[in-house]
Amino acid sequence: MKDLIARQLYQPAVVLPLLLLTRLMVTLDFNLAQVMFVMVLRGSQHAYQFALRHTVARQRSSGAMKHLPCNNCC
């Protein structure tokens, strides 16, 4: 059982979020209210970006939009 736990703890999917959370908590002086606020804000930003990408991809596939300007041109 100890070997299983040791192998699972060294997975990047486990270690990286813990390191990011630790860095955020140190930055905010271990204030849990601020940490939760930042996490909720970042989560809402990711959800908004996901919804925006999904909507643009759907509009492109339906042919409703002929040209979608981007930041690099136009």
Identify the pLDDT of residue 6: 77
Cα–Cα distance, 6 to 58 (Å, whole number): 43
Identify the pLDDT of residue 66: 58
Identify the pLDDT of residue 37: 97
Within 10 angstroms of residue 63's Cβ, the number of other Cβ atoms is 7
Domain ranges of the chain: 2-65
**For helices 12-27 and 32-62, what crossing angle results, to 10°?**
130
Identify the pLDDT of residue 22: 94
Query: CB of 55 within 8 A of CB of 64?
Result: no
Identify the pLDDT of residue 71: 67
Give the pLDDT means over successive 10-residue stretches in the chain (74 positions): 78 87 94 96 95 88 63 64
The residue assigned the tokens 């736990």 is: 5
